[in-house]
């Protein structure tokens, strides 16, 4: 069984047992998280249920495994002939979630 969910402004294809890395969620390690914005569900028979835009009463539940950081992004601002240079960096925080069940 597969589903496509929307969280943090992005869409993810999930199935039970998979681990995904999503934008940072509020919660502690071991907490249960529920995704209510389910866009599509397909079952083992190949039957596909597509929402317009969401599927009513469909939920995907998972467990928070921990918080991870993404790769460092370097931000470099520069204006030629002015002596203006600024170098900063950023590391996005993500939450690692293990998908447990898809409910229609």
Structural domains in the chain (count): 1
Q: Which residue range is the domain that position 55 belongs to?
A: 2-64+96-103
Residue 86 lies in a domain: no
Identify the pLDDT of residue 35: 94
Give tens-digit pLDDT for 30-52: 999 999 999 999 988 889 999 88
Cβ-contact 3, 44 below 8 angstroms? no
Residue 88 lies in a domain: no
Nearest to 15 by CA among 35, 5, 1: 1
3-state secondary structure of 43: coil
User: Residue ranges of the chain with pLDDT lower than 70?
Assistant: none
Identify the pLDDT of residue 28: 95
Q: What Rg do the C-alpha atoms of the chain give, in angstroms?
A: 19
Measure CA 35 to chain center: 10
Nearest to 22 by CA among 92, 100, 103: 92
């Amino acid at each position: 069984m597969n589903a496509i969910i929307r969280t943090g402004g992005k869409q993810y294809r999930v199935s039970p047992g998979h681990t995904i890395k999503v934008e940072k969620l509020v919660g502690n390690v071991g907490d249960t998280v529920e995704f209510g914005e389910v866009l599509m569900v397909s079952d083992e028979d190949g039957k596909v249920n597509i929402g317009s835009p969401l599927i009513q009463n469909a939920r995907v539940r998972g467990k928070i495994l921990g918080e991870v950081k993404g790769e460092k992004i370097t931000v470099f601002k520069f204006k030629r002939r002015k002596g203006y240079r600024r170098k900063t960096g950023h590391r996005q925080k993500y939450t690692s979630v293990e998908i447990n069940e898809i409910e229609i």
